[in-house]
Chain A
C-alpha cells in the first residue's frame, strides 16, 4: 500500500486561554514554521460602550469610557471631557489644566511600564515582568494621593478637576522620579542591552514608514517607524504648547525600536510632570459657571479641603445641539472622540476610536513572513490591549 503525502497549510488557533494571546484569538496559517496568513479574531471583550453611552448622562459616561483602556484611563477621561467642554463652550481655569496634564503624564508612565512588563513576559523575561509592575506601584501611590483611587480615577470632570494638589505632593513626586531614573538604568542593564532581548527583537516585525502611514497605525508604533506624529505637538490641547518635551522617533520600525520609544517616552513624561509642578499656578480648580450653583457651606468645604463638591447641574447636563470631534494622545496612541448631541441629557451618538483598534490593522501586515515563535515578540511590541480595542 502506498501512502500519499499531501502538503497543506496548518491553521493554528492561539485562543483566548493562552499566555501569549491576551483577551483575543490569533488565527495563524503556517507553512512549516513561517506564517503565511494571519487573522486576529477580536470581539471577546466587546461590552458595547458606545451603545450604553446613549443611555447615560454626560457625567455618568466618564467612568464608562474609562474602563476599556484601564491602565491608561486619565488620557481617555481627558479626551472625553475635552469633547464635552467643546460642546458646552467652557474653558477650565489654568490650574486645572496643569493638574490635568500632570495626571495624564503620570498615567502615561504607568501605562508604558505595564506594556513593557507584558512584552517582557511574552518573550520570557519574568524579572522584567516583576520590576516594571513593582515600579508602577510607586506611580499608583502618587496618583492615589492625588485622586483617591489606584486605577480608574475619574479625575477630570467638566470644568476642571476633582481635587487639588495635596500637601507634600511635589516632594514625593520628585523622590519617585529619582527612584525611577535609577530603575531605568537597571532596565537597560538587565533587559535592553541584554543580547537575548536584542536578538529576539531586533529586525523582527518591521513596519516601513510608508506602510505605517497607509495602515493608519498610531502611537509609539508609528513613531518607531519614522513618522514624528504626536497629537500633543500636532494639535496641542490643555497646556502642552507651553511645555518643553521631545517627540521620541526612531527609524528602524522593528520591535526593538518600539520598545526603545516607550522607554524614551517615560523619561519625557517625567520631564513634563516636573515642569507642571514648577509652573503650577494657584487658583480655582473648577470653572466659575459650575461653582455658582453651590451652597456657601459646600464652597467652604471646597476651600478647606481642596476637593470639589459636584453641582446639581452635573446630574442633568444638557449641552447644546451639535457635534464635535476631539483627539488626544493616550499612552498607546491617538484617541479620537466624536460626540453628537441633540440637546437632551444623553448623547445621540458617542463614537470612540481607541488606539488599539487602529493598531489592529498592523497585525495582518506585520506578522506575515515571520516565524511562529516571533508572534509573542511582535504582539507585545505593538502594545495591543484588547479591552481597549473592543470597547
Chain B
C-alpha cells in the first residue's frame, strides 16, 4: 500500500478530531493534533492497527516558545502499516509543558516518555512511574536537551 493510501486511511479514521494529516515530499506522514485531542487520536490510531511506539522525541523550539513532542508509530501485526512510520505530533507551552501520557494506550511508550521527561522536561500526566531514568538522581539544572543548556564547542571557548 503506498503511503498516500495510508494517509487516506488516517484521514478517514481520525475524522471529526480536528487533526491535520500531512505528507511531505519524501513520503513521511505526520498527524498534527492539539494536546487536548491527543489521547483520543492515539486510541483511534491504535484501533486502526498501529500497535507500538518507536520513539518519543521532544524538540525545544525557543523561538516559538513551544516544545514539540513527536510520537513515531508503526505496526508489527498489520501488514499494510508495517512498512510505514507515522509521526503523531503535538506541541505544548515551553514554560509549562504538560501533556497527557499515552502509556495506557501503548505500553511501549513507558520508558520513552520517561526519557523525554528526564531530558526535555515535558511532564506526562498519568504516567505510572515518571522519574529520572538517564540522568543521576541529584542532577540540578534545566533539562539538558533544552536550548538554554549550551555545551562548549571546539575552537571558540574550549
A, B: real partners? yes
Enumerate chain A interface residues (CB-CB to B < 8 A). Answer: 42-43, 46, 48, 50-52, 54-55, 86, 213-216, 222, 227, 229, 234-235, 322-325, 327, 334, 336, 338, 340, 348-349, 351, 353, 357-358, 360-361, 390
With both beta carbons as reference points, the residue of chain A lying nearest to B52 in the complex is identified as A216
Which of B6-14, B36-44, B93-101, B133-141 touches A? B133-141
List, in ascending order, chain A residues with CB within 8 A of B26's CB. Answer: 86, 322, 324
A353 CA to B115 CA, complexed, in Å: 11
Q: Are A55 and B134 in contact (CB under 8 A)?
A: no
Q: Does B17 contact A (CB under 8 A)?
A: no
Contact of B54 among A54, A323, A348, A353 (CB under 8 A): A353
Q: Please, which residue of chain A has its CB at the minimum distance from the CB of B55? A: A353
Assembly CA distance A338 to B70 (angstroms): 10
Chain A binding site: helix, strand, loop or mixed by DSSP?
mixed
Kindly state whether residue B18 has any CB partner on chain A within 8 Å: no
Inter-chain contact B133/A51, CB cutoff 8 Å: no
Q: Could you mark each residue 18-31 of chain B with 1 if its beta carbon is under 8 Å from any beta carbon of chain A, else 0?
A: 00000010101000
Give, as a whole number of angstroms, the nearest-CB distance from A281 to chain B. Answer: 26
CB-defined contacts of A235 to chain B, threshold 8 Å:
82-83
Instruction: Give the complex CA separation of A327 and B26 in angstroms.
Output: 15
- Chain A positions within 8 Å of B77 at CB level: 213, 227
Q: Distance (Å) between the CB of B130 and the closest chain A CB?
A: 14
Q: How far is the CB of A355 from chain B (nearest CB, A)?
A: 11
Q: Decide: B133 and A43 in contact? CB cutoff 8 A.
A: yes
Q: Which residues between 107 and 135 of chain B lie within 8 Å of chain A, taking CB atoms?
A: 107-112, 115, 119, 132-135
Which of A50, A323, A325, A327 contacts B145, CB < 8 Å? A50
CB–CB A325/B85 < 8 A? yes
Nearest residue, chain B, Cβ from A360 = B111
A361 & B57 in contact (Cβ 8 Å cutoff): no
Q: Which of A48, A216, A348 contacts B108 (CB 8 A)?
A: A216
**B57 and A357 form a contact (CB under 8 A):** no
| B72 adjacent to chain A (CB < 8 Å) | yes
Contact flag A390-B28 (CB < 8 Å), given A214-B51, A361-B111: no
